[in-house]
Amino acid sequence: MPSSTVENYLKNILIVSLETKSSVVSMGKIAQGLSVTPGTATTMIKNMAADGWISYFPRKGVRLTRKGRKFAMSMLRRHRLLETFLVETLGLDWSEIHVEAEELEHAISEKVLEKLDEFLGRPRTDPHGHPIPTKGGHIYRANSKTLFLCKAGMKVRIDSIIDQESDFLRFARSKKLIPGNEVTILSHEKEADAIILQIGSDNPFSLGSRSSEKILVSL
């Protein structure tokens, strides 16, 4: 069994490769994602390659092996089921659950996880709108686009929030930028680096590119 450090590396590599839609993940992304120095990442990666979790292509990056991908999927499943539990059952706010799940994911066994999944009624997405991998390691891939790509006049549905920062999540909630809600794009001037949007009959408001790239939508 991998240490919780290895578990974090695996999950992070999987998330980056899902986000970027490329199976090879660079050392820089890994070091950044895990908040370690590049040298630390290189060392860890070499050990993980020796243990068969990943293929290591020096100076190119890293790819999950089948075994690595399977395990990483199970970590993602744990993380997202735990987040769902923390919100649905215990009533925590969606801005505080990420850090909690980041620890609990290493301590919960498959046995307990299965009971939890059953208790929660086999949810398919977590509170941020992210798909929860199945026990078999499958993940549903929505073809969402970032909100920043939407043109004026479009009406779209929010799929998920990428950013896990508490501050951004609290802001998003206050503006009703929540998975499931419908958004109308009132204007989008490329040069202004901002879009103006409206939810229901609420007051319209604007979002810069940085923020609007953190929100995935479809339709």
Binding stretches for Mn ion (CB under 5 A): 8, 83, 102, 126, 128, 130
Residue 92 DSSP SS3 = coil
Q: Does 174 help bind a copy of itself (rule: CB under 8 A)?
A: no
**Minimal CA–CA distance to 161: which of 187, 179, 142, 174?**
179
In the complex, the smallest distance separating the C-beta of residue 13 from a copy of itself, rounded to whole angstroms, is 22
DSSP structural state of residue 105: T
Q: Does 3 help bind DNA (rule: CB under 7 A)?
A: yes
Where does this chain touch a copy of itself (CB under 8 A) — which range of 6-14, 82-90, 156-164, 211-219?
A: 82-90
In the complex, the smallest distance separating the C-beta of residue 98 from a copy of itself, rounded to whole angstroms, is 12
Q: Are 73 and 139 in contact (CB under 8 A)?
A: yes
- Taking CB under 8 A as the criterion, the residue among 88, 96, 163, 213 binding a copy of itself is 96
The partner in contact with residue 26, picked from a copy of itself, DNA, Mn ion, none with C-beta cut-offs of 5 to 8 angstroms by kind, is: DNA
Q: Spell out, one character per residue from 38 to 67, where the chain touches DNA: x when CB under 7 A holds, - when not.
A: xxxxxxxxxx--------x-xx-x------
Where does this chain touch a copy of itself (CB under 8 A) — which range of 12-20, 103-111, 123-131, 191-199?
A: 103-111
In the complex, the smallest distance separating the C-beta of residue 34 from a copy of itself, rounded to whole angstroms, is 18
In DSSP terms, 182 is beta-bridged to 157
**Token output for 211:** 């923020």
Q: Does 122 help bind a copy of itself (rule: CB under 8 A)?
A: no
In the complex, the smallest distance separating the C-beta of residue 185 from DNA, rounded to whole angstroms, is 33
Pick the closer one to a copy of itself by CB: 78 or 128: 78
Q: Does 112 help bind a copy of itself (rule: CB under 8 A)?
A: yes
Using CA atoms, how far residue 186 sits from 1, 13, 175, 197, in Å, is 52, 37, 15, 5
What would the 3-class secondary structure string for 49-90 be?
HHCCCEEEECCCEEEECHHHHHHHHHHHHHHHHHHHHHHHCC
Instruction: Report DSSP letters for 148-211, one per residue.
Output: GGPPTT-EEEEEEE----HHHHHHHHHTT--TT-EEEEEEEEGGGTEEEEE-TTSPPEEEEHHH
Residues that bind DNA (CB under 7 A): 3-6, 26-28, 31, 34-47, 56, 58-59, 61
Residues that bind a copy of itself (CB under 8 A): 86, 89-92, 96, 100, 103-104, 106-109, 111-112, 115-116, 119
